[in-house]
Amino acid sequence: MIKRATRRKVTTIEEQIVCPCGYEAKDAKHAEYFTWANLDGRMVLLCWGCTDKLHKNTLEKERE
């Protein structure tokens, strides 16, 4: 029996990127607005706004 390759739908990276706050990449240009961040030991993509908030909160905790 020969196994044949099955076709799968290929999604673009823009369709896969959604920040936990709900911001979604609309096109390739908006896909550049996301950065990787470590949240509770898990790597997630965050928009710039959420990344900035996370960074500010981390700095405040380190100062205490």
| Domain-wise residue ranges, the chain | 13-63
Cβ 20 vs Cβ 43: under 8 Å: no
Q: Quick one: residue 44, left, alpha or beta (phi over 0 = left, psi -120 to 50 = alpha)?
A: beta
What average pLDDT does the segment 1-15 reach? 50
For residue 60, name the pLDDT band (cuts at 50, 70, 90): very high
Residue 56 pLDDT: 93
Higher pLDDT, 23 or 53: 53
Q: What percentage of the chain exceeds 90 in pLDDT?
A: 8
Q: Give pTM, 2 decimals.
A: 0.60
Residue 10 pLDDT: 42
